[in-house]
Amino acid sequence: MTSSAVEVIKAKRDGGRLSGEQIDWMVASYTSGAVADEQMAALAMAILLRGMEPEETARWTQAMIDSGDRLDLSGSGRPLADKHSTGGVGDKITLPLVPLVAACGAAVPQLSGRGLGHTGGTLDKLESIPGWRASLSEKEIREQLAEIGAVICATTPTLAPADRKLYALRDVTGTVESVPLIASSIMSKKLAEGTDALVLDVKVGSGAFMKTPEQARELATAMLDIAAAHGLRCAALITDMSVPLGRAVGNALEVTESVEVLRGGGPPDVVELTVRLAREMLALVGLGPPGGPDPAEVLASGAAYPVWREMITAQGGDPDAPLPVAGTVEPLLADRDGVFAGWDAYPVGVAAWLLGAGRARKEDAVDPAAGIRLLVDPGEPVAAGQPLLELHTDRPDALEGARAALAGAAWFAEDTPAPGTGTAAGIATGAGAASGTGAAAGEKRPPLVLAALGTQT
């Protein structure tokens, strides 16, 4: 044994820099069980409070990769491009993006997770499709990449097992919100997966993990530093999550909206972000315009939709099967006339979660039909009594809590003195006003892409 856990904990507690050997030993010993949960929890807290230098974070990431196997997904004959989103309300972009990028000539190995809390997980969304299977073997992933170029599936059990164990520990010890630990957690899985290029969608706003642009930039920079240290082609967009993406929040509802986008329609913000991320992914692997296809044209033409159908079918799903529908659908009415300016993302995510779309503990099941459909776009005039959104649930007793969560969550242009300082009011059940960011009088929607780091387009 080259170190003791207590020495490592004390070194970081006192603001020191951990050696590569200490990091390797600590991560490996925690994975094997030689270092106890309480010791790793103490170190995670010390890291949260003291931070890590980029070199420490890069080494920590490598140690997490080395705790398991690296996948070998080469051999599809196409370059591999992937993306990671830090998650947000109504963020279904992976669903249209993966078939779109495959339709443009790259292969996308999207190894995803399930949702916890108010943001939905990609696998939860796809599991609302009858028959669809999330777990694939490495061989099945390779074959599907070669045949279709598009895979969305669960991470394999041997991919960065240290991260799985550590993330569960951080979740119950108040240590999730450490930039080096978040960055190394995300990047260890992407590096172990073996993609050739990665685009990061770092969300900022009330519905995101990162609440301020400064925090989002710090996380994006930490992940880009790890990518650079590991020789991975990587770019990052910082994108708005002050209002929900699109008009659907909830698993089956988001699948339906994604299919609309794949057929050439859908909400403009979902289309815009899908195309922008596709451009970045294709540019990183040398397949973008001017030499390659323009993803905006490919998406608008519906040419990515057959790839979606193949991808769903290959994983046992029936792309034509009706999706689950909630037993109870109730409107939420405006209590005033005005120009609607947008929804605050976080309460919409919480309300969808209360209706059954999300889980409180990772063992919980989600209700595929539950969620929220937004009925009014920012900039539209509304009249008192007009439905602003629909609540979908199979648990009618959850409606009251969802309505309470949404009280004060709608912004009206009249109450919005300036961009980024909106005041919310105006829901029939609402009591009082809440302040928010993002929506401005007369604006359709806050700008989606707020910053681009290391991007090519």
Stretch that binds ligand URA, among 24-32, 47-55, 118-126, 177-185 (CB under 6 A): 177-185
Q: Shortest Cβ contact with ligand URA: which residue? A: 185
Residue 338 pairs with which residues in a beta bridge? 382
Rule CB under 6 A: is residue 222 a binding residue for ligand URA?
Answer: no
**Shortest separation between residue 372's beta carbon and ligand URA, angstroms:** 23
Stretch that binds ligand URA, among 73-81, 175-183, 216-224, 400-408 (CB under 6 A): 175-183
Nearer to ligand URA by Cβ, of 167 and 346: the residue is 167
Is 444 labeled as catalytic in the residue annotation? no
**Shortest separation between residue 186's beta carbon and ligand URA, angstroms:** 5
Task: Kindly state the number of chain residues that form the binding site for ligand URA, as judged by CB under 6 A.
Answer: 6
**Shortest separation between residue 176's beta carbon and ligand URA, angstroms:** 6
Rule CB under 6 A: is residue 186 a binding residue for ligand URA?
Answer: yes
Other C-beta atoms closer than 10 Å to the C-beta of 191 total 23
Nearer to ligand URA by Cβ, of 102 and 181: the residue is 181
Nearer to ligand URA by Cβ, of 159 and 407: the residue is 159
**Shortest separation between residue 56's beta carbon and ligand URA, angstroms:** 16
Nearer to ligand URA by Cβ, of 157 and 327: the residue is 157
**Shortest separation between residue 141's beta carbon and ligand URA, angstroms:** 19
Is 309 labeled as catalytic in the residue annotation? no
Stretch that binds ligand URA, among 128-136, 179-187, 333-341, 350-358 (CB under 6 A): 179-187
**Shortest separation between residue 357's beta carbon and ligand URA, angstroms:** 19
Burial class from Cβ neighbours inside 10 Å (0-12, 13-18, 19+) for residue 291 reads exposed
Q: Which of 12, 59, 83, 84 is catalytic?
A: 84
**Shortest separation between residue 187's beta carbon and ligand URA, angstroms:** 9
Selected from 8, 129, 182, 245, the binder of ligand URA by CB under 6 A is 182
**Shortest separation between residue 185's beta carbon and ligand URA, angstroms:** 3
Q: Which of 118, 164, 170, 233 is catalytic?
A: 170
Nearer to ligand URA by Cβ, of 145 and 183: the residue is 183
Nearer to ligand URA by Cβ, of 62 and 76: the residue is 62
The residues, ordered by sequence, that sit 6+ positions from 14 with a Cβ below 8 Å of its Cβ are none
Stretch that binds ligand URA, among 21-29, 182-190, 242-250, 373-381 (CB under 6 A): 182-190
Is 84 labeled as catalytic in the residue annotation? yes
Q: Which of 24, 91, 163, 225 is catalytic?
A: 163
Is 403 labeled as catalytic in the residue annotation? no
Rule CB under 6 A: is residue 26 a binding residue for ligand URA?
Answer: no
- Reference 41, options 223, 175, 200; nearest CA is 175
Rg over alpha carbons for the chain, rounded to the nearest Å, is 22
Rule CB under 6 A: is residue 167 a binding residue for ligand URA?
Answer: yes
Rule CB under 6 A: is residue 185 a binding residue for ligand URA?
Answer: yes
Q: Which of 185, 188, 206, 242 is catalytic?
A: 185
Residue 342 pairs with which residues in a beta bridge? 411
Nearer to ligand URA by Cβ, of 193 and 367: the residue is 193
Three-class secondary structure assignment of the chain: CCCCHHHHHHHHHCCCCCCHHHHHHHHHHHHHCCCCHHHHHHHHHHHHHHCCCHHHHHHHHHHHHHCCCCCCCCCCCCCEEEEEECCCCCCCCHHHHHHHHHHCCCEEEEEECCCCCCCCCHHHHHCCCCCCCCCCCHHHHHHHHHHCCEEEEECCCCCCHHHHHHHHHHHCCCCCCCHHHHHHHHHHHHHHHCCCEEEEEEEECCCCCECCHHHHHHHHHHHHHHHHHCCCEEEEEEEECCCCCCCEECHHHHHHHHHHHHCCCCCHHHHHHHHHHHHHHHHHCCCCCCCCCCHHHHHHHCCCHHHHHHHHHHCCCCCCCCCCCCCEEEEEEECCCEEEEEECHHHHHHHHHHHHHCCCCCCCCCCCCCEEEECCCCCCEECCCCEEEEEEECCHHHHHHHHHHHCCCEEEHHHCCCCCCCEECCECCCCCCEECCCCCCCCCCCCCEEEEECCCC
Is 263 labeled as catalytic in the residue annotation? no
Q: How far, in Å, CA of 82 to CA of 200, rounded?
A: 9
Nearer to ligand URA by Cβ, of 237 and 376: the residue is 237
The residues binding ligand URA (CB under 6 A) are 167, 176, 181-182, 185-186
Catalytic residues: 84, 163, 170, 185, 189
